[in-house]
Every structure is written in C-alpha cells, then in structure tokens.
A and B are shown apart, each in its own frame.
Chain A
Amino acid sequence: MLEAYYMAALQSLPHIGGKSLRRLLAAYGSAKTVWEMPPQDWADTIGLVPEKLTHIIQQRHAHHWESYLQRLEKGNMSIVTYKDDAYPALLKATYNPPAVLYYQGTLPGDDRLIAMVGSRKATPYGCNAAAFLARGLAAAHVGIVSGGARGIDTASHEGALSQHGYTLAVVANGLDITYPPENKRLYQRIVHEGGAVVSEFAPGMKPLADNFPARNRIINGLAQGVVVVEAAQRSGSLITADFALEEGRDVFAVPGSIFSSVSKGSNHLLQQGAIPACCAEDILKECGWFEENTGNGQGILKLTDIEQLVYERLSLDAPVRQDVLVEQLQLPPGKISHILLQLTLKGLIQDTGQAGFIRIIPTT
C-alpha cells in the first residue's frame, strides 16, 4: 500500500508521466527507492534535461507527506496503481496509461463502458440526445464514462443516473477541487449511486487547459467505444475521437443539424466513417452487447386529453415557449403551467429554462 503512495507522489512531480514512471520502477525496483534517491541520480534513466531536473528537485523538496495524506483522507480519495488488479484493464492496455489514478467511489467492475463526449456549449437537442443515449445504455447495464464538464458531459451523467446506472466522471483537476463548481451535486450523486469520479492529477491541481487532452486520453482508454454527440470543428471532442481511433476503439457520432455550428465536427466524423448513433441499440449492436429483451417496449403513456394536446405541440428538437402554447391552444396561462408541470413530473418533458419546454424520450 505504501508503495502506491510513493508512486502517486512521484507521478505528482512535474515532467514525470506514466511512461517515465514505469521506466524508473523497472530500473530501480520500487517507488520508495526512487523517491528516496536524489533525483540527480535517476535523471539519466529517463533522460531529463537540467532545467527540468531543477524543477523536479524543487517540487520534491516542497512535497509534504503529512498534508498530502490528510488531503487524500479528507477528500475520501483512494489510489489505484497499474500494478493493482482493480486498475481498469482496458486503460492498462493503452499506449501510455497513467501509473496512478485517484478516485472517489467505486471503480467499474467490468469492461462494458462507453465514453460520451461533446460540446460544453451544447444545444437543447444535443443534451436531449446525450441523455437519451445514456439512459438507453444504462438500461442495458452499460456504464457511461464522461468528463464531468458542462453540456453533453453533464447530460450523459444525468441520463445514466436517472436509470441508476454506472457512470464514471474523469476530471482534469485534483479531486479536492470541484470543477465546474455547479456540478458539485452531480459528483456527489455519481459517488452515491455507486459510480466514480476519477483523476490522474494529485490533489490541489487546478483544471489547467493542458490537463484536458490528458483527461480525454483516460476517458477513451476506459471505454470500448466513444460517442461524439455535438462537437464543433477543431474541438476537444474531435481530439478524443482521434485518440480513440489510435487505440482501436469504436467511434460513434450522433448526427446533428447540418446548419448548427456545434454539429459541424460530429457530422464530419460521420463523413469520415464514424458509426451513426441514433439510438442505444446502434451502440449495443456494434459492441456485441445487444439482447432482444432489453425492454424497449415503451409503456403506454397515461395522459389526459388535454395533456396529450399539449404534449403533441412540443418537439424533441427545439424547445417551445409557454406563450406559444397559450396562443395556439387558447387556454389560460395558469392551466398551461399546470399541464406542463404534470408532464415534467411524469418525466416526459423538460424545462430548458429561458427557451421553453422540450420533449424527452421516456425509457420504461
């Protein structure tokens, strides 16, 4: 166990990645030995230039064991190393997996995981699609891996949670920092529902821009395939898709409007041969997880006539404003609010805030 902490401490030093760490361990046997050696002695093993070495010496000097361990304990963080059995097997098999992962919650029990990535500035359509796919996958007992960011990531996690499914968020900062701050509750729910929040960064690391590609690598590595929901041209989600191709993962893309700027990248992926993901079955079939009896028979909705009338006016693509419904149906606004609330509570529609109400597809 102690060895894991030494490994984690080594990984938290600058310029030490998974690859260098593994090389050091191979050369000197244990992380404890390496840690206790002056860095000058092992610098040549991994070919460090002098300025990087100075950096490392400074950081190693500043490392304070007591506060480090306190932080881990306070944040309920656990450590898993690539030598442990619990380390996700798929990730271990990638080109450059992190030697150490910090996590809160429960690591996945099997490899049935799908990654979902997409724009942080997603449209209601994108969020709706992401949540729809995540719900379908979760219902088929497939775990969802995503990045915990705003937009598509959040919608994917929420979709999985609504089915009490397994979901895992990989973040680009230390686990003692909550980023984005409004997702604090989401992270708590993920851990509470038996999922996990994972990071390769030591506590205290801020969500720097440089950390995100590294995080995307882990998201990819953990999953069998990656679904790109909405991605603009030259976005991080496309980088993730490239990683996925290099690692031989399946790349799925959700078709978007040809006019929407946030769908340019995902539509481009489809042109290049990505598998279109129009429903959870598309993904399940490709991965060989599809079973006939995953209960896709939708329950008959028990709606009153007037609820049906309102429900039919709403669409899955774009939100409709309450005022429009009042004008079209010639009903008092109070009545419309009442019906909309009923439909929301039944889980059939969703309030997107400013723009109005949008249908969501119920999974039984």
Chain B
Amino acid sequence: MNWTAVQRILGLLLMMFSLTMLPPIIISAIFNEGSWLPFLEGFGLTLVAGVLIWLPVHKSRKDLRLRDGFLVVASFWTVLGTFGAAPLLLADSLSLSITDAIFESMSGLTTTGATVLTGLDDLPRSILYYRQQLQWFGGMGIIVLAVAVLPMLGVGGMQLYRAETPGPVKDTKLTPRITETAKALWYVYLAFTAACAASYMLAGMNWFDALCHSFSTVAIGGFSTHDASIGYFNSTTIDLVAIVFMFAAGINFSLHFFAWRYVSIKHYSQDPEFRGYTVILFSVAVLVILGLFQHQVYASPGDTVIKGLFQAVSIATTTGFTTADYSAWPAAVPVLLIFASFIGGSAGSTAGGIKVVRWLLIYKQGVREITRLVHPSAEIPVKLGSKAVGHRVVDAVWGFFSIYVVVFSAMMIAMMMAGLDQVTAFSAVAATLNNLGPGLGEVSSGFMTLSAAPKWIAIAGMLLGRLEIFTLLVLITPTFWRR
C-alpha cells in the first residue's frame, strides 16, 4: 500500500471538492436570501481538511498502484458524503440531524435521489441548488472530473477511473490519454446538461428550475426543487423533455462521444447494449401502460400513456422523478417498476442498477445452456454483437450478480430487523442499492419517517450501488491488505 500517494490525492480531491460549495453562495446572492453562511463554513472546513491531509505529503511523487486506486475511490466517496453534508448540517433553515444530513448528501452524490426533506418548495434556493449540484457532480463522477483536470494523476488516473466507472468492461478508452478520455466524457456531459436546461426553459420552467432539474436529469439523480417532483409543473411538454433526457443519460456516454466525433448515429444502432436498453425500456413502458388501462386509473387515454411512459422511463433508468404516486397504482405495476430498476441503464452511463449489458450477458448464457442441451458437443461462445466475450468478463458478471444478491438479502434482512415491514424493506434496499430513490410502502415519497438505523443501512446501500459493490467490498477482504 502506498499510503503517501493515497493521502496526497485524497487531500487534492478534497480541496477540489471544496470549490463546489462556492456556486450556492452566488445563488444565495442572486436571490438575496442571506443563506450563504453554511456554504462558506462548509467551504472553509473542507478546504482546511484537504490542505491538512495534503500538506504533510505534498512532495511525494509515487505512482498509484492498482490497489491504491480502490482505496482512494472508496475512501474519497465516503469522505465526500461526510463533507458534502456539512452545509446541510450547518443550515439553520433545515435543522437536520447528522444522520439526515449525511443521508441527504450521500443520496445526492450517488445520484440516488431519495430524500429526508419535506417542504422543499419553501426552502432557500441556495440549499435546493446545492442538492441538485451534488447530484450533477456525482453523476459523471467527481473522480473522473479530477482525472480530467488534474494532469499529474497520470497512470494512476486509470486506476481511479476504473474503480469509479460502472460496467463490466472498463479497459476501453476513448482516446489514448486517460486525461483526454475523462475530458471528453465531461464535455459530452456538459453539452447534455446545457441542452437539457435549454429545453426545460423552452418548455416553460423558470431558469432556476430548469438549471436545477437539468442537473438531476442528466445525472439520473431524481432530486427536485419541489415536493411533487416533476409533477409540480403539470405540463406534458416538460414530461416529454424529461423522458428524452433521462433516456439519453441512460445510454453509454462513449456512444454519445462517438456520435459527436464522427457525426453519425450508426454507433447507437450497432451497439447491442443500446438495443437491449431500448427494448427493455419499451417493454416496461408498454406493460405499465397496459396495466393502467386495465384498471382504468386515469380517465383520459392521453394521461394514461404519458404518465405510464414517464414513470416507466424514470424508474427503469433509476432516475426517480415522479409525476404520479406510482406506489398507489394497482396490482403488479409498482413491483414491475421496482424490478425494472434492477436492470437500470447502460454501462458507462450515469444510471444505477445492475446495468443492461450484464443482464444481456446473463441472458445469453442462459440461451447457450439451452442450445447445449440440444447440441451437447457444440462450441458456443457468448457474443455481444459480432464479438465473442472473454470468459473472464462472463465470470466477472456472474461474480457481480451473486454478490449483488447476497448484499441485497443481507441489507433487506437488516432493514427488517430494524423494524421495517417486508415491502418497505425490500423497496428501500432496491431504491438505494440501485440508486433509484423512491420506493414503495413507507418510503414511497422519501425516507424521512425511518429511524436512524435503517437510514445508515440505506447510506451504505447507496454507496455500494454507486461504486458497484466490488470497489467497496474489496477493502474489507484480508487479501487486499495482505502485503
């Protein structure tokens, strides 16, 4: 273990992160709210902590090893959740407990979007903005941002990038230099955010709401500036804009990058994961709409289609925006939606869940077993598109899947032991581990009614989900620490 290198980068990252507490001060000034003090305090606290960590080792010039990458990413996200909570904890208008403040900040950073706050509409704008901004930085990954702007990370940058980026295959770079790759991803991300904010404004939001919602849409987060989420606007145009951008943000960002660079959309249609993703979203939406029609939840067919589609896309991409109380929908529909969040978005997107490409590989293996029963001596590789997938990747997918199941069960039982009923416990774990946000039962609109213990379990779940379990889990294995 290369402690000095880890410590140095951790300090640098914290100093960088402290800068993100400055924009809310500007927002506070614009709206003349006088709620800037907690952000200034948070900024000072984080900056000083960063400097204190960085200063003793700032001359160290050692390279990061593979293991150090895991340690940096895992500890940084943990530390980040804590320091990100500082302004929320210090804000008088909120008077949150430590648990609630950390829950809220972690839910933001991991793009989960579950909240413990009520009465959002009356809160100072600077605090609302800060929550949205947390999601935005968490979406593409603040470490990817660091790799893009801090050139000295170098080869170590690849280790960090790999430990943070979701998906089973992480070796594909868009450009030879990791810094350039990270930059390209952030440019695409920025472009999407700008386009999304502009579209929201054209659809009728004011600039503040448009900016805030564009942050949480592109990050697939789900925080809103209103208690009623997107439903507050009660506008079909806004719903449609949100649907389009949630869908786009759930696609692998390298596809967007190629489309942008080669000015062609053929990369999308050629990508098997994209096709799988589209088919899954479409099927879920159709099933939901059919369910709504069957039980005649809404009087007009137009309402049924748009509400069904919105909830399907929002939940299946793990965003968590709502325009209706879907947990009150009849029969299998809410459970179907929760199950869809297990699939989530594509690898390399900002979405959570297990990721489409993993399901695709598992599905193809199932098909292979069936074919093998019929042709026992056939040689059948698992293929994605026209390329055979290496058995290392397939093994890794199974490994991930089994760990996911184990972690899920353990957390659900822990939740139930902490006093939740089965439906609430199940959906709360699904909502956090998949970085979805809203669940069913007691947690359908937020986690505010829960006691401290389930909240901490939920915090752990969000972090595990965002870092795809392994990055965090590897730290508690003895092999990792053995020299």
Q: Do A and B come from one complex?
A: no
Binding site for A on B (CB under 8 A): none
Instruction: Name A's B-contacting residues (CB within 8 A).
Output: none
